[in-house]
Amino acid sequence: MEETIGAVLDQSVAEPTRRRYDSAWKRYMVWCSQLGETPLPVTEDTAMAYVVALVRDGMRVKTVKYHLAGLRMAQIKAGMAAPEWGAMSRLAQLRKGLARIEALGEKEKLRREPVKWSHMLAMKAVWKANGERGTMLWAAACTCFFGCLRAGEALAPERGEFDKKAHLGWEDVQMEDAASPRWIRLRIKESKTDRMREGAFVTLPRTDLEICPVRAVLEFMVVRKAGPGPFFRDREKGTDQARLCVRSEEGFG
């Protein structure tokens, strides 16, 4: 009976939202385990400590609300009264303070320059001499650059499990001629601007220049081999997550 109720509650939100809630809950459980905190019910003090931990870990303050929503759903599914974040005055004030600190910090940062051809050449010089991992990073960079993609549209998340319904996999990469393709087409299943989750196809052209996305992706496919999981994966690191690697190397995406 409990499983049936839980399944029905899951249907009360859209599938992308449910995945976001599940990811938030898993991250919260890891944090609770590390600090010896009792997960439920979520007290105001626990929520405040967790919010600070998320922000210290690099999360934007505006993203914190999705994690709090995930905790709220988990508490409802556990048969407990839903936490009223808005009624927790200290938590509300804490979030305002963190948002102000973040805004002041953003004003002090230099505007990040868009990725240009010269940047790509610099990345190529470093990554092409860095073995299989460099091949993966270079192919991912070329894919995002020529496909005008955000990192999250081409790469699996830094945390959480690979979802073949949402993330780019081997089967989502197509080409017209395996021997000498003029283009490679990617099936992008989810993006920030695709509100209806209809998906889209993005074509990477063969340039025959010093930077060619088709050549970069083909070289990566040779070392990756066909198989399940995210298309871009960092096997040398022993993980299927590549987004963190790309971002940490050059701030790409």
Domains of the chain, each with CATH number or no CATH: 2-108 (1.10.150.130), 117-250 (3.90.15)
The secondary structure element, H or E, covering residue 173 is strand 173-175
* CA–CA distances in Å: residue 224 to residues 20, 218, 221, 238, 250: 28, 10, 5, 13, 22
The pLDDT of residue 248 is 43
Taking only Cα atoms into account, the Rg of the chain, rounded to an integer number of angstroms, comes to: 21
The pLDDT of residue 5 is 61
For residue 63, what are its two tokens? 């993203």
The answer, yes or no, to whether residue 238 has pLDDT greater than 80, is: no
For residues 132-155, give the mean pLDDT.
90
Q: Enumerate the β-bridge partners of residue 204.
A: 184
The answer, yes or no, to whether residue 146 has pLDDT greater than 70, is: yes
Q: Which residue has the higher pLDDT, 171 or 130?
A: 171
The answer, yes or no, to whether residue 174 has pLDDT greater than 70, is: yes
For residues 92-114, give the mean pLDDT.
78
Helices and strands counted in the chain (H then E):
10, 3
Asked whether the bond before 39 is cis by omega within 30 degrees of 0, the reply is no
Within 10 Å of residue 131's Cβ, how many Cβ atoms? 11
Could you give the CA distance from residue 169 to residue 249 in angstroms, rounded to a whole number?
A: 22
pTM for the full model?
A: 0.54
pLDDT in tens, 24-74: 999 999 999 988 889 999 999 999 999 999 998 889 999 999 999 999 999
The answer, yes or no, to whether residue 91 has pLDDT greater than 70, is: yes
Residue 163 amino acid letter:
D
Do residues 200 and 191 lie in contact, with contact meaning Cβ atoms separated by under 8 Å?
A: yes
